[in-house]
Structure 1
Amino acid sequence: MKDRRTVRAGLAAVAALCVVAAAQGTSLAEGAAGAQAYETRGTRIRGADGGTDAPSLAAGRTYVDSLGPGEKRYYGVTLDTKSAAYVSAVAAPRPGAGVTSYRDGVKVTLESPDGAVCGTAAPKIETSGVAYPLADYASRQIDSGPASCHQAGRFVATVERQAGSQDHERWPVELRLMVEPPVKDGATGATPEAPEGSSGTSSPEPPDGTAWPKRGGRGFTDAPTLGTGVWRDEIAPGETHYYRVPVDWGQRLSAVAELSADGQDQSTRLLDRALAMHAYNPARGLAKRGTPAAQDGEPPRTEVATEPVAYENRYANTGSAVRAMSFSGGYFLAVTLNPPQVAPHLNSSVQVVLRVRIAGAAHGGPTYDKDPVEAGFGLTAADRRVAKQHQVVAEDDQMGVPADDSDKALLRMVGYAGIGTGTALVLGLGAWKLTARRRASARGYGPPPAW
């Protein structure tokens, strides 16, 4: 059995390298320098140094600014007395930037007209040396928080970058204001029931089947929409790819991202935390961080599972992971490939398999007094059709490779990659295994730092 796992691990690694060489035509010596950065999209804006002359953010529009270390920008937000509001910020350091764990980050805050803090969030880099986009929001809820936050008027949103960063470059920042319409006959959460997301049910099983190609977006605005199914993408070390998943009232999102390598083989244990995944709600608020999930004999992978969507979740005292699941709509998955961890082994784009499941029966939600879809919330009929789809193998798909790790699938993948690159790739694999074993021996086989 052990010999069989070793052979399969070798086949998996050779297959991944073959696909990379055939598709990309790049050398194994190339590192993560070619990783594509987060693509900001929106209207250019320059935040003010104070609240008095702060430029205004319009609901439903996206803006682009930038921040240097220690800088703070101010923006104006006009709100009524009935609507919930969410001001999100996406800060995007350059892939490969010299960031430091929990010392590089941003803080977004929303203040009432008299200066009371209505909401705040402070996403930070979780692993040193891994520069990936940071996103979250500050919100105003109409039935919670300081009394002045329920008033109508001009609020102030601020975005501040942490001081003392080793990365002196300016970070692009994408800003967006989303205003959730009030529900008819008052807010349904005025006397909230127990949050639906507090049940603590186990994560749904990830789907099996053929992995269909789907190129992830370079940001929230160009993320492709996925339903339940198995998908594959090519991600370079340092890149973050985005995917949009429709989630209705009563449903929850679960996903697994995995690499084509066998965690049982010691040469691949250093890849156990090569992937990070974050789930975000439709207003770009952080809903859940992924956690490493590989067991012995399984490919390196990370998984994320949200709580079910319920309007009352916004009033939960059980944590932000529940409160973020407060409205139906297009949720997002952001998958990042860790450059320091994969660079010694795989120095070009690698195949990542994404297993997505939308679990739970959809049911009706609150009745809004305006169309929530126009405000960026809720689902369209097309979204609901996509959410119900489960991709199956097409009979005429001669190139489809199932997402399992069977020897037949791996050998077929190697064959498609072409015999001409075989010798060089086997030599590259040998060097990769030797380097990994030496690193593993030097570090020991304890778990790498979490991120």
Structure 2
Amino acid sequence: MNDRSTVRTGLAAVAALCAVATAPWPAGQAWAAPADGAAGARPYRTQGTSVEGTSDAQGAPPLKPGFGYVDSIAAGQKRHYEVRLDATSSAYVSAVAAPRPGAGVASYRDGLKVTLESPDGATCGSSDRKIEANGVAYPLADYAARLAEPGSVASCRKAGRYVVTVERGTGSQDPARWPLELRLMVEPPVKGGDRGQAPEGSWRTPAPEPPEGQARWRQGGRGFNDARPLSTGVWADQIKPGETHFYRVPVDWGQRLNAIAELPASKTGEGAGVNDALGMRAFNPARGLTRKTSFAGYDGRKARAELDTAPVAYGNRTARAEYSVRTMSFSGWYYLAVTVNPEVTRFFKGAVPLTLRVRVSGDPAAGPTYDGDAVRAGFGLTDADKREAARAPATGDDAMAVPAGRSEDRLRLVAYASYAAGALLLIGLGGWTLVARRRAPVAAAGTPGPGRHRRPGPPPPAR
């Protein structure tokens, strides 16, 4: 066998082994030295076609259903877009504004407002979201809706050109433009018959007991588009301070979602506690904010943030109830977004172990009959969706199961082992290279080595 070929093959093998040995552990993060605030934290991942909103409604670019759009917005700026709607479908225009991790945001000053206006200029729906933890930059998301329901504003049930306005507050301390992600989702109308009434009072029932047992790895995504699926159970992840991780959970008609995010006790942290350390928010399939927690403090002891929703019912949208109930009005993928304050670095080295306890409770119920393909429009669930969320992957990082309370130690141990293995392989690479160099003169002379024979074949070309 040709020595150079052998060396090339060996080098490739060693390089591949090094890559495997030093690849990030389940959460996509290696154990690292203490970070400076949000240094190294991954930003929100936008996805979609570039679009440039206008400063006034005239000439605003169109948004079409089924597509994502990406823009940016400065402090104090308004961006306008147009959507074309029929007279019978409900529509939801969502906006996600994502300040970079570690940005100097101010609570209840930095925010984003989304408004949807009818062809006649009437306001059909709006949302106004603010940062609620000082110095903690996280994605702000919600929608403005047009409901084609009896009792809604008459001009908002007309077909025609509607105008979407996205506005960022003027009092921001962050000079950077924020990435902006936009999406229009159109819900088909419901055929005649029972649409399902809001289950009055059911959202006030006690939350179900959180699941216990062994945690399975599930790395969180960096946005709505790559949110990782979860089902009832205990899940483990790692998150860098300053990051927000996204997950999605299938919730059917008649079901409700309960979720708990936990940070473990710190073994190395010192100093004062962090007031707004851990926060979690839930969003419906159209990216409307459904439920949120107050940010939990952290002083080195175990901390948690918990939320639970009302059961899903079509009639919730018109119920005489709070906003968090009205937004639980269609089945489909619901999203969880978990944020960790950059200041938590004083208690952890590198990424922080995160545990999620998720429970979907209630028996699936029959929903309304849509006059159109609701699942294709982004609403509803298939059996494949439910299997995807419940499946424990047989391969890859997510296949690992971690006993409760041991994730931090295990991650540290495996990270050290990975680096040690990588170092040994690099030493082997050096030795392999040295052998190759020593054999090179022999190969160049065309003289077979001791005890070796030249392969049969054509003679080398004449020089």
Query: Residue in 1 aligned with 2:318?
Result: 315
**How far apart, CA to CA, are the structure 1 residues paired with 2:51 and 2:394?**
47
Change (3 A) 1:306 1:262: farther
Q: Deviations over 1:94-116 (max 9, x none)?
A: 11111100100010000000100
**How far apart, CA to CA, are the structure 2 residues paired with 1:172 and 1:393?**
36
Query: Residue in 1 aligned with 2:378?
Result: 376
Query: Residue in 2 aligned with 1:66?
Result: 72
Query: Residue in 1 aligned with 2:183?
Result: 176
Residue 146 of structure 1 is aligned with which of 134, 153, 157? Answer: 153
Asked if 1:276 corresponds to 2:256, the answer is: no
Query: Residue in 2 aligned with 1:429?
Result: none
Change (3 A) 1:114 1:420: closer
Q: Residue 116 of structure 1 contacts residue 148 of structure 1 at CA under 8 Å; is this kept in 2? A: yes
Query: Residue in 2 aligned with 1:223?
Result: 227
Q: Deviations over 1:393-415 (max 9, x none)?
A: 99xx997431247xxx8877776
Residue 334 of structure 2 is aligned with which of 331, 334, 341? Answer: 331
Correspondence 1:124-273 to 2 at 5 A: 124-143=130-149, 144-185=151-192, 188=195, 193-196=197-200, 198-261=202-265, 270=273, 273=276
**Paired residue type of 1:121:** S
Query: Residue in 1 aligned with 2:306?
Result: 303
Q: Residue 29 of structure 2 contacts residue 351 of structure 2 at CA under 8 Å; is this kept in 1? A: no
Q: Could you say what secondary structure the match of 1:33 adopts?
A: coil
Query: Residue in 1 aligned with 2:9?
Result: none
Q: Could you say what secondary structure the match of 1:32 adopts?
A: coil
Q: Could you say what secondary structure the match of 2:228 adopts?
A: coil
Q: Which consecutive unaligned segments of at least 5 residues does structure 2 have?
A: 1-24, 420-463
**How far apart, CA to CA, are the structure 1 residues paired with 2:300 and 2:243?**
27
Q: Could you say what secondary structure the match of 1:122 adopts?
A: strand
**How far apart, CA to CA, are the structure 2 residues paired with 1:161 and 1:219?**
20
Please tell me the root mean square deviation across aligned C-alpha atoms, in Å: 3.1
Query: Residue in 1 aligned with 2:461?
Result: none
Change (3 A) 1:33 1:141: same
Q: Deviations over 1:109-149 (max 9, x none)?
A: 00000100000001110011001000000001112432100
Q: Residue 70 of structure 1 contacts residue 161 of structure 1 at CA under 8 Å; is this kept in 2? A: yes
Query: Residue in 2 aligned with 1:49?
Result: 55
Query: Residue in 1 aligned with 2:96?
Result: 90
**How far apart, CA to CA, are the structure 1 residues paired with 2:119 and 2:317?**
23
Q: Tell me how far 1:354 sits from its aligned partner.
A: 0.8
**How far apart, CA to CA, are the structure 2 residues paired with 1:310 and 1:121?**
21
**How far apart, CA to CA, are the structure 2 residues paired with 1:386 and 1:71?**
41
Correspondence 1:282-431 to 2 at 5 A: 282-291=285-294, 299-340=302-343, 342-386=344-388, 389=390, 400-404=401-405
Q: Tell me how far 1:385 sits from its aligned partner.
A: 2.5
**How far apart, CA to CA, are the structure 1 residues paired with 2:86 and 2:399?**
57
Q: Tell me how far 1:270 sits from its aligned partner.
A: 2.3
Change (3 A) 1:127 1:282: same
Q: Residue 291 of structure 1 contacts residue 304 of structure 1 at CA under 8 Å; is this kept in 2? A: no
**How far apart, CA to CA, are the structure 1 residues paired with 2:185 and 2:152?**
18
**Paired residue type of 2:69:** Y
Post-superposition, which runs of at least 4 consecutive aligned residues in structure 1 deviate over 3 A? 193-199, 265-269, 291-298, 389-394, 397-400, 409-421
**Paired residue type of 1:151:** K
Q: Deviations over 1:181-232 (max 9, x none)?
A: 001127837xxx4445644111111111111111111110011111111111
**Paired residue type of 1:355:** R
Q: Tell me how far 1:369 sits from its aligned partner.
A: 0.9
Q: Deviations over 1:50-70 (max 9, x none)?
A: 222111110111100110011
Change (3 A) 1:420 1:361: closer
Q: Give the alignment's TM-score, normalised by structure 1.
A: 0.79
**How far apart, CA to CA, are the structure 2 residues paired with 1:55 and 1:398?**
44
Structure (1 or 2) with the larger CA radius of gyration: 2
Q: Give the alignment's TM-score, normalised by structure 2.
A: 0.77
Q: Which consecutive unaligned segments of at least 5 residues does structure 1 have?
A: 1-18, 422-451
Q: Residue 143 of structure 2 contacts residue 287 of structure 2 at CA under 8 Å; is this kept in 1? A: yes
**How far apart, CA to CA, are the structure 2 residues paired with 1:133 and 1:300?**
22
Q: Residue 318 of structure 2 contacts residue 326 of structure 2 at CA under 8 Å; is this kept in 1? A: yes
Q: Residue 93 of structure 1 contacts residue 132 of structure 1 at CA under 8 Å; is this kept in 2? A: yes
**Paired residue type of 1:150:** R
Identity across the alignment (%): 56
Change (3 A) 1:61 1:23: closer
Query: Residue in 2 aligned with 1:10?
Result: none
